[in-house]
Amino acid sequence: MYVQQIYTGCLAQAAYYIESEGEAAIIDPLRDIQAYIDIAKARNAQIKYILETHFHADFVSGHIDLVKKTGAKVIYGPKAKAGYDIISADDGRVFTLGKVKIELMHTPGHTVESSCFLVKDENGNATSLFSGDTLFVGEVGRVDLAARQDLTKEELASMLYDSLEKLKKLPDSVIVYPGHGAGSACGKNIGKEATTTIGEQRKNNYALQPMSREAFVKIITEGLETPPQYFFTDAVINRNGYKDNMETLLDKNVHAIEVAEFKKSVDSNAVILDTRNADDFAKEHIPGAINIGLSGQFAIWVGSLFADVPFLLICDEGKESESVMRLARVGYDKVLGYLKGGVNAWKAAGNKTLSIESVSAIEFVKHIGNGSKLIDVRNEGEVTNGTIKDAINIPLASLPKKLTELDKSTHYYVYCQGGYRSMIANSILQKNGFTNITNVIGGMGAIAKTGIKLEVPLEV
């Protein structure tokens, strides 16, 4: 059997192509499906199945378009009900792919329909598990995303307890291919490794250690940060289906706008989204623009900070299609277009630009205690590993709701872990009237190297 992981760092998401004897299956595909079709074509294989581990909340899946292109069957676990044709398979149902068998293992907890796909070789030996959002490296799927009035996160956690007991019975040698890696909001603290084994997780994953059901429910439901607001929208889209495929969206949304038209669109309350890197944004940008660069987890942060609003894009030349595509991956289809000629065209038309002051970590440390305040926009879990005395912790996703608690007359230094999120934060602050702000280049990663004493807060 041939296995290829297709990892998308922007979403910390892993899709999979598996193949045996010219028959292929795609597991948890993204909306931009061409990569999967290209792999199958290059290997002279036919895509037979599209295996969905659950109704995803963190991206729009490409199963509907893959069906149109390939005629493959879409398979979900028990209790899955969709607005399009699917096979809702019972626990234990087996699907044949060339010489191998794929057994659906119903593993509810992350969602009620969540399932893993266990691959067995021609001799019936279990070799690999595609675990979706049930089991990650060092972590398990969060249990609050599918919670609703008739099903609490505690009830989902109890389901997950039973599901993990089922997985723990698999041989230690079974390779685990998880649905997400480090940085995904689908788990609390997912490890960075691309794959693992059942044996490694049985030994090292806290959630697989012997404990009572009550203890498990308590530990799994604690420390869950607020999920990005687009999660619940995407889950509905994946359950009901969507209208436009990726090609249609690119044709419609990769649209050049002249400066005059761009200014009129700004007046209509569209969000100006600058997808350039943080350094270029800091030097010069259009007033009111929010910087979320393509160099980081772009789609996750757009979805965490904005509802389904219209966007106007500022892009590096040649990055317009990528910006639109990465928004579409998370269901953000309302793109009015991009500014033709970018910031240079804006200036040439006589319009002003703004900048954001940035300093090195060394310079920042020299000025601590000069009356300025510090804003740490890392997540709570990151802050517990060490922070600067008296720094204010406001996780980036919470910043828009916390602006009224800050003083516009105060000077703030803003930092994160590496510098990506702090520039997003600075752009939000500046748009909302904070002019006395400074970005710390390199964030805590650079600050820690200066030798400054860090402290672990008793309470965040």
CATH of the domain at 126: 3.60.15.10
Are 332 and 410 in the same domain? no
Are 299 and 256 in the same domain? yes
Compute the distance between CA of residue 292 and CA of residue 396 in angstroms, rounded to an integer.
Answer: 12
Are 128 and 14 in the same domain? yes
Q: Which pLDDT does position 459 carry in this prediction?
A: 45
Q: Which pLDDT does position 307 carry in this prediction?
A: 85
For residue 458, tell me if it sits in a domain.
no
CA distance to 342, 345, 347, per residue, from 351 (Å): 12, 9, 5
Compute the distance between CA of residue 29 and CA of residue 165 in angstroms, rounded to an integer.
Answer: 27
Residues marked active site are found at 416
CA distance to 153, 172, 318, 370, per residue, from 168 (Å): 22, 8, 48, 55
287: which 2 tokens?
Answer: 């007033």
Compute the distance between CA of residue 218 and CA of residue 232 in angstroms, rounded to an integer.
Answer: 24
Compute the distance between CA of residue 97 and CA of residue 85 in angstroms, rounded to an integer.
Answer: 20
Are 221 and 368 in the same domain? no
Q: What is the mean pLDDT of each successive set of 10 residues along the chain, which is 460 residues long?
A: 95 96 98 96 98 96 95 96 96 98 98 97 96 97 81 95 98 98 89 96 97 97 85 92 89 95 86 97 97 94 91 97 95 95 97 97 93 94 88 94 96 96 98 97 96 72
For residue 454, tell me if it sits in a domain.
no
Residues 18, 1: contact at Cβ < 8 Å? Answer: yes
Are 90 and 162 in the same domain? yes
Are 206 and 324 in the same domain? no
The H or E element spanning position 344 is: helix 342-348
Compute the distance between CA of residue 129 and CA of residue 116 in angstroms, rounded to an integer.
Answer: 7
Q: What is the pTM of this model?
A: 0.90
For residue 456, tell me if it sits in a domain.
no
Are 261 and 202 in the same domain? no
Q: Which residue has the tokens 């350094």?
A: 279
Q: Among candidates 163, 153, 73, which has minimal Cα distance to 113?
A: 163
For residue 459, tell me if it sits in a domain.
no
CATH label of the domain that carries residue 321: 3.40.250.10
Residues 36, 60: contact at Cβ < 8 Å? Answer: no
Residues 60, 331: contact at Cβ < 8 Å? Answer: yes
Are 272 and 183 in the same domain? no
Are 168 and 188 in the same domain? yes
Per the document, the length of the chain is 460
Compute the distance between CA of residue 184 and CA of residue 191 in angstroms, rounded to an integer.
Answer: 10
Q: Which pLDDT does position 460 carry in this prediction?
A: 39
314: which 2 tokens?
Answer: 């500022």
In the listed set 303, 325, 348, which residue is the last one of a domain according to the structure?
348
For residue 203, tell me if it sits in a domain.
yes
Q: Which pLDDT does position 457 carry in this prediction?
A: 62
For residue 65, tell me if it sits in a domain.
yes
Neighbours of 459 (CB within 10 A): 4
Are 364 and 265 in the same domain? no
Q: Is 94 helix (H, G, I), strand (E, B) or coil?
A: strand
For residue 83, tell me if it sits in a domain.
yes
Neighbours of 453 (CB within 10 A): 7
Query: In terms of residue numbers, what domain contains 392?
Result: 357-448
In the listed set 181, 202, 233, which residue is the last one of a domain according to the structure?
233
Are 131 and 189 in the same domain? yes
For residue 97, tell me if it sits in a domain.
yes
How many structural domains compose the chain?
3
In the listed set 233, 257, 283, which residue is the last one of a domain according to the structure?
233
Are 63 and 210 in the same domain? yes
Residues 447, 379: contact at Cβ < 8 Å? Answer: no
